[in-house]
Structure 1
Amino acid sequence: MTAVPVLLDRQRDAQWRMVADTVAIGLPAILVASALGWRLFGLAGLLALALAGLCVLAIVSVRRARRLDRDWLIGALDARLPRFEDSSALLFRDRSGLSGLVGLQRARLESRVDEARAVDLRPAWSRRPIAVSWAASVVLTAIILLWPAPGTTARPTTGDPAAPGTAGPPAITGVRLRITPPAYTGLPVREQTALDASVPEGSRVEWLVDFAPQPTTASVDVPDSRATPLVRDGTRWTGARLIDRPTLYRLAAEALPRQRLHRLDAVADAVPVVQLIEPDRQLLLVTPGQARWSPVFEVSDDYGVLESATLKITVTKGDGENITFEQRSTSLSGTGEARQRRFSPTLDLAREGMAPGSDLIVQLIVSDNRSPERHVVEGPSVILRWPTNLGLADGLDGMAAPVLPVYFASQRQIIIDAEALIAERPRLDPARFVSRSDGIGNDQARLRNRYGQFMGGENEAGGSGGGIALPTNDAPPTPALPTNDAPALSRFERPEAHPDHEGHQEGDAAPAVFGEAEDVLHEFGHAHDEGDAATLFDPGTRSTLSQALDAMWSSERALRQGKPEDALPFANIALELLKQAQQATRIFLRRTGSDLPPIDLSRRLTGDRDDIVAEEETPPVRTPADTVVADAWRALDERPSPGRAPPLALGALDRWVRENRGRLSDPLALGAAIDTVRNEPGCLDCRRRLRALLWSALERPPVVVRRREAPGTRGQRYLDALR
């Protein structure tokens, strides 16, 4: 007797147990799939899904059983039989190749093989997964088999449906809505059993209605519009209508109880949305060496846009009153799906006629696929600007870097720049050091001229205290921007032009260099030093600002001489003085006319308080239309106050809804609620819904401030005691 066949029997038993366990878990799923196939496709569906499920289950079972191979068997024997001394693998080796201690151990194991017959190596049943699988299978199978078939569910809205073939008034036994959206939407035809629907604007809605017993005539009634008759075809009544606006309707037939109103919402086609993807802003400057420009637009729409679009291109040339425009249009093709396309034209700047001072303006014009009238949308305009101060060497390839506008540096920044320059002095050659120091001196001059205009322009050509500005030859003339701002210490500030004054003319010449009389103030503003228009400061603040200007003069002189160490003390003094000037407590303003009423001196110290306050605003009076809504809201109260509940006038309320349709948020819902309460006066939920809708429709009265109530006796005694 050999040991291997006995042990293989134990392995085979374990594999069959694994197959049975897998079948017990997976068979309920096959039953559910078979029931679903029979319900949807009949006997053929049942057989197809059952065979497919059994094939899948067989494959899974074999794979799980194969996991219990020889290695598993050796491990199980070593774990369950201690007398095998973890040497079960020797029983599966060829006996002729074993000798010595190995052969002796093999002989010992063969004498103990009978002990393996009593060991059960089969895996335990998966009790919990099996129970859950069968329970879920029973529930799902019952739901599938008992669920009513589509199109056979009766949808009566009032009363109990009458069984087919019985006498009595007709009742609705089944109804479906077949919705056919417009062709341009690309949406499929769909059917539903719900009578309320939201459809694309212009959709064709077809009603498929079953009655029992059959009426003589039937229709779809629409308030304030012509009814749609239903045509009988066998036992089914059909009718269709185009929905181009939100509407209410009800199904009607001869002798059919009055049904509730249902709602069809027409969703309007949205206009395309054009977004600028590249660049990230609408104003762009030409970069050095740029010869082409490729803006990217993205167009999105709910149902799709046309593949072709129009790009409107405008090129402006000249400046001032001599600006000319050249416009043209070109066709573009987009990429991507219809609901989200991208358009990316490539423009040659030279071919478009770009030159210094020109603007290239592009605008994308797209249209969607709406029919019969398309939505045409003009996207945002994007401007590519070629500044006039952008020098050229040879065409577009030799463009220099653009010169951005110069803004004023604050006094604190001048100190920071001077300290940084002193720290870098060991690493700079003398010429470079002096040049950078002179640049900081230019910033100091601009700031001095800026504050000098508040002194009537007296510090622009020599200062008020003897500060001298040294002329330089290496600093290029830099025009300063006009400003009339109050003193500030921000790092960058955009100056504003001086306002015009009657009886004065603006300067004609632009400033050349700092220190000349034709400066920014004379070009854009007026230098006055008389009356109340000369300054905005009291004498003390004016003196402080004058001392700050003197310190700025001294700082500028040292900076232009290449001595930032000598300029720092004066720059710090100027900063402290500017802080004091900013904290001025008195500011004289220009005289202006006063609109205050004259003071009646005859009433002074008399205690007469008549006509000194406005009269109390009268409470708002509701119009008769709003009174109708308020009365209806009170009449719908479940617990009305005795003698205060007016009768419920649904006719007047219905007229009010039609007349005020424009200011109501949802007039269809309110109209349907009124009709339901009229047909079913005993429906408590219907009355509550109508009352809630009326509350949101009531016009809110304006908020008024009420006079304080008169105090009582004790309160009046307290007030008298205070006096």
Structure 2
Amino acid sequence: MAEQGIHIISRLRRRYVAYRVLSCVLFSVAIALFVFGGLFLFFKPVIWAVPAFFISLFALFKIKKPLSAKNEEIAAFLNRTYPEVEEAAEIILIPSKHLNTLQRLACGRAEKALLGLRVKHKHFRRGFWHSIWVAELALLFVFLCHIAHEIGGHPFTAVPPSDVQQPLPPEKVLPQIDGVELTIIPPAYTHKPSRTQDRFNLIAEEGANAQWLIKTNVALKNAFLLFNDKEHIALKNTNGGTQWQAAKTISQPGFYQVSIDGKLSEPYQVQVIKDAPPVVHVKSPKPYTYIDAGEVPQVNINASLTDDYGISAATIMATVAKGRGEGVKFKEYKLAFNTAFSGQPHYDAQKLVNLPALNMEPGDELYFYVEAKDTHNQQSRTDVFTVAIQDTAELLSMDGVLSGANVKPEFFRSERQIIIDAEQLLKDKDSISVEKFNARSNDLGIDQKLLRLRYGKFLGEEDEVVEGPKGNDGPVDPADFSNAAKILKEYTDDHDKAEDAQFFEPAVKAQLKATLTEMWKAELQLRLYKPKDALPFAYKALRLLKDLQQKSRSYVAKTAYNPTPIKLEKRLTGELDKVIQPTAKQEMKPAPEPYQALKNAINVLEQLKQNPKLTEADKRILQAANGQLSLRASAQPGSYVAALGAMRRILAAQTADLKDIATVEAAIQKTISAPGAKPSAQGQSADMGLSRSYFKNLKQAKP
């Protein structure tokens, strides 16, 4: 009896293991399909999908261990799921000699329950269904990749917005044509393989080579391709008049027709995918970078370069400016990135530029821009970025501060003195004791604190003074009983808040806040006995202060204009009879209307809706409109080729079709724009505008 129970549990274990193994296999197939679709989409060898399957299958077997399931797990599952077993399924797996009387009774009842138990498969198929859903998603991904590959590109290719992305219309071929085999060979810069299609409508990359092989069901005498109603390309006979070949390099969009023994086909589209120039984005540094004293004199140039087909080269064009005024000298450098460009569509290039290696000194400036070139030799560049090194000598100079024309308070020079004392302390470090060095550094920190508090008053900050409790020794005036204003004054602060201080403009206040922040940092380093680390913050605070000083200057003209004195005896005595009002006459002829033929064609098309028969005069008007539509179709084939074919069907048919009329009218309405405003003389009212002024003042008057 025990053997039957063990057999049932073992059979359930094999079923559970089979579902788990199938789940791992399906997951591995899904991963291989995703790899296959990605490789197929990017025109890479798809054979790598096979090792991807085996690697993923090995990893899943290693992680999930589907073959390691034991009978004890199935017994525990039966105890949890089916109450009929009475939680005694695990006793069946214990040998009979190790069971007591009570366990033998429980084992017998559990075996009877197992013999009549039907375990459903849904408990074992949960992970299996998940793997099926993932495999279906992988199949959908492969299908979408196949569609993108058939179109001739992939969704990650940057294609400029144009009418290339519009769906191609259905084609109508001449009855003599049995089929066409159109081979498109993309140019070398696209790195794309050649493709073949059985349609006349053509979408190709700029510079691609198109080769036609047209098969006919009858022998022909003469055949050629007509491009944009201008260019003729003869079709060469290769098989007794039933196979014709031609080739052309596609560089411009337009349309073409197939001529067979003097009979023209309908227009077919020729759409060109333009090669977009590379896109260069400089992530760092900022457009203007200032290197303060104490900072490392180097700049890291990090640029992102993207192109639809590939980047072939990228260069940093740098210019170093040295000197001032008329003595400025420039020297150009050509720097290369650390990345080797091999035609990939995207690169993240970096270059660490050491400024002293370019002979840059304090006060010099570096101007650079990044220039990139794609595989089609198209170039693009970024804006100019500026990197300047702080000139500490100029920053510490007293020029302008001692001038009488620019008298400033004493504390505008205190930060400069702190910097000088800190540099002197660093020079004396080896000749003084550690205690004296720390004491002088701490004294500088106190000076920095006093200076910061002095500037903080301009922002509404209070002194760091702890006020003692306010006494209440004097008698209280009975009139102040329940005086809310006085009570609030005793327990609130009436001083200006830092956020509400109105001493400066918002921009000046923001820069002054940044100055206080740098002073805080400098004070911290000085209190930690690190004057060397405090110097960069002190220099930056001084630079911000000098910038505020320059902004506060006001300039007054040095000399004034003294007009010639007026002779009163000759005032208002001049003769004005020869002074006439200057007039300018100009004859303006209206420019010729560029779309007059299309406007005339609209009238004819509206008449055709009532009477579908064409007269000779109507044909001449529609022929003129057909010429303008042909020019538009040459520039934008996706929008106008269908209208051009409809116009030619209207001209060739005895009775016009309403669908063709609607197609042509929609294209004409898209072409014709609203007329612009023309110059005209403004009429003057009889009362010289008095009534208009009266009503204007009446509206502004108070009631």
TM-score by length of 2: 0.51
Instruction: Report the residue type matching 1:229 in the other structure.
Output: L
If each structure's helix is expressed as a fraction of its own residues, which one has the higher value? Answer: 2
Name the counterpart of 2:101: 103
Instruction: Quote the residue 1:385 is aligned against.
Output: 388
In the alignment, which residue of structure 1 is the partner of 2:74? 72
Match of 1:417 in 2: 457
Partner of residue 275, structure 1: 281
Say whether 1:655 aligns with 2:659.
no
SS at match of 1:227: strand
User: Which residue matches 2:188?
Assistant: 183
Q: Given the superposition, is the C-alpha separation of residues 521 and 191 from structure 1 closer, same or farther in structure 2, using an over 3 Å criterion? A: same
Task: Tell me, yes or no, if the aligned pair for 2:319 and 2:368 is still in contact at 8 Å.
Answer: yes
The answer on 1:197 being equivalent to 2:195 is: no
1:248 maps to which of 242, 255, 259: 255
What's the CA shift string for 1:660-718, capped at 9, x where partnerless? 89xx97377436522443136555433322211101211312358999xxxxxxxxxxx
Are 1:674 and 2:644 an aligned pair? yes
Write the mapping of 1:231-380 to structure 2, written as runs, cut at 5 A.
231-232=237-238, 236-254=243-261, 258-282=264-288, 284=290, 287-307=293-313, 309=315, 311-319=317-325, 322-335=326-339, 338=343, 339-341=345-347, 344-355=350-361, 357-370=363-376, 374-380=377-383
Match of 1:688 among 662, 672, 678: 662
Tell me: CA distance 1:22–1:348, structure 2 relative to 1, closer, same or farther (3 Å).
closer
CA offsets, 1:548-578, max 9 Å, x none? xxxxxxxxxxxxxxxxxxxxxxxxxxxxxxx
- CA distance in 2 between counterparts of 1:621 and 1:304 reads 50
Residue pair 1:317, 1:355 contacting (<8 A) in 2 also: no
Query: d(CA) in 2 for partners of 1:79 and 1:671?
Result: 69
1:630 is aligned with what amino acid? K
Q: Partner of 1:207 in structure 2?
A: 212
AA partner of residue 381 (structure 1):
V
Equivalent residue, structure 1, for 2:91: 90
Are residues 175 and 24 of structure 1, via their aligned partners in 2, closer, same or farther at CA, if it must alter by over 3 Å? farther
For residue 182 of structure 1, report the CA deviation from its aligned partner.
1.3
Which protein has greater RCO, CA pairs closer than 8 Å, 6+ apart?
2
CA distance in 1, matches of 2:81, 2:350: 72
* CA distance 1:114–1:193, change in 2 (3 Å): same
How far the C-alpha of 1:242 sits from its partner, in A, is 0.3
**CA, structure 1 residues 78+221, in 2 after alignment: closer, same or farther (shift >3 Å)?**
closer
Match of 2:672 in 1: 698
Is this contact kept in 2: 1:307–1:333, CA < 8 A? no
Query: What do residues 447-467 of structure 1 show as CA deviations (whole Å, max 9, x unaligned)?
Result: 9xxxxxxxxxxxxxxxxxxxx
* CA–CA distance in structure 1, aligned partners of residues 103 and 354 of structure 2: 92
Letter in 1 for 2:226: D
Asked whether the 8 Å contact 2:642–2:663 carries over to 1, the reply is no
Distance 2:667 2:181 in 1: 29
Counterpart Cα distance in 2 of 1:72 and 1:309: 67
**Secondary structure in 2 aligned to 1:306?**
strand
SS at match of 2:200: coil
Give a deviation string over 1:291-327, Cα, whole Å, max 9, x none.
33443444433333333636342424221xx233232
Q: Residues 641 and 286 (structure 1 numbering): CA distance in 2 closer, same or farther, change over 3 Å? A: farther
Aligned to 1:636: 605
Letter in 2 for 1:329: Y
Could you say if the C-alpha distance between residues 443 and 693 of structure 1 is closer, same or farther in structure 2, counting changes exceeding 3 Å? Answer: closer
Displacement, 1:390?
4.5
Contact kept in structure 2, 1:317 and 1:359, CA below 8 Å: no
In structure 1, how many angstroms separate the alpha carbons of the residues matched to 2:641 and 2:602? 15
Secondary structure of the structure 1 residue equivalent to 2:286: coil
Verify: 1:7 aligned to 2:9, yes or no. Answer: no
Q: State which drifts further: 694-703 or 676-685.
A: 676-685
| Percent of matched pairs sharing the same residue | 15
Q: 1:213 to 1:355 in 2, by over 3 A?
A: same
Separation in 2, partners of 1:289, 1:377: 33
Pick closer, same or farther for the CA change 1:345–1:182 going to 2, 3 Å.
Answer: same
| Cα-to-partner distance string for 1:194-231 (whole Å, 9 max, x where unaligned) | 43333221111122333334544443321211224244
Counterpart AA for 2:643 = A
Q: Are residues 418 and 65 of structure 1, via their aligned partners in 2, closer, same or farther at CA, if it must alter by over 3 Å?
A: closer
Alpha-carbon distance change, 387 to 527 in structure 1, aligned in 2, over 3 angstroms: farther
Alignment check: 8 A CA contact 1:11 1:68 kept: no
Match of 1:720 in 2: none
Name the CA shift for 1:481/1:354 in 2 (closer, same or farther; >3 Å). Answer: closer
2 CA distance for matches of 1:647 and 1:401?
91
1-side partners of 2:366 and 2:82: how far apart?
88
Task: Give the structure 1 partner of residue 596 of structure 2.
Answer: 627
Query: Which segments of 5 or more consecutive residues in structure 1 lack a partner in the other structure?
Result: 29-48, 145-149, 162-168, 403-413, 428-439, 448-477, 483-490, 497-519, 532-597, 599-619, 708-723
User: Shift in Å at residue 14 of structure 1?
Assistant: 5.7
Q: Output the amino acid matched with 1:330.
A: K
Change (3 A) 1:419 1:703: closer
| Equivalent AA in structure 2 for residue 677 of structure 1 | M
Secondary structure at the residue paired with 1:700? coil
Note the aligned Cα RMSD (angstroms). 6.0
Structure 2 CA distance for aligned equivalents of residues 233 and 64 of structure 1: 64
Equivalent pair of 1:198/1:266 in contact (CA under 8 Å): yes
Of 636-645 and 289-298, more deviation after overlay is shown by 636-645
**Letter of the aligned partner of 1:635 in structure 2?**
V
